[in-house]
Amino acid sequence: MATWKRCSSCKKEIGFSSTYYQCSVSTCTRKRTGFAFCSVECWETHVPMMRHREAWAVEETAPSAQEWAKEEAEAESPAAPPAKPASPPRRRVVGTKAYDTPPGAPLDILVVASRFKHYVREVHGLNTSDAVMEVLSEHLRRIANRGALVAKAADRKTLLERDLEFLETEGPTR
């Protein structure tokens, strides 16, 4: 029997023109992911691992060998050059105050995203976009920079909580 794909769970062969199962969740059916399962039982082993809230197995029929060859040929010889995906502009707070992030400073995410998202979900019942982490990190950098100026002005080499007292009187820096 000719093989179209292998099961994403048990690695059993899925033949051309045979029945297979896909996950109903859109992220699992993307071309890059390409999950295919030989049985509903194999699909069920995938669900807890992917933490789907609501999903079901969709019965599909694999393409014939000729259809698959045609799809592969089309994928290998694109008619037009692939369009470069438009990346969203990186948002960065920029300013000219002494406590703004200096050029060349590391721009890593400074927030434990899972914990922050959990807090917002538990307290406010909201989901949190990944883009929020960059904005929060920039605010934290500015707070750290401003506190560092206070510590240096006091001729110390340690940032202390009292260096951040401006937060209690002013609120978040902007």
Q: Contacts for 40-43 with beta carbons within 8 Å, 24 or more apart?
A: 42/7, 42/8, 42/9, 42/10, 42/12, 43/9
- Quick: pLDDT tens for 134-154: 888 888 888 888 888 888 888
- Quick: pLDDT tens for 101-130: 777 777 788 788 889 899 999 999 999 888
pLDDT at 95 over 70: no
DSSP letter at 126? -
Q: Could you tell me the sign of the dihedral formed by the alpha carbons of 12, 16, 18, 23, in that order? A: positive
- Quick: pLDDT tens for 31-90: 778 888 998 888 888 877 777 777 888 888 888 888 888 888 877 776 656 566 665 555
Instruction: Match 């197995």 to its residue by tokens.
Output: 57
Contact residues for 146 (Cβ-Cβ < 8 A; gap 6+): 98, 99, 166, 173
- In the chain, what are the domains? 3-75 (no CATH), 89-174 (1.10.20)
Alpha-carbon span 14 to 6, nearest angstrom: 5
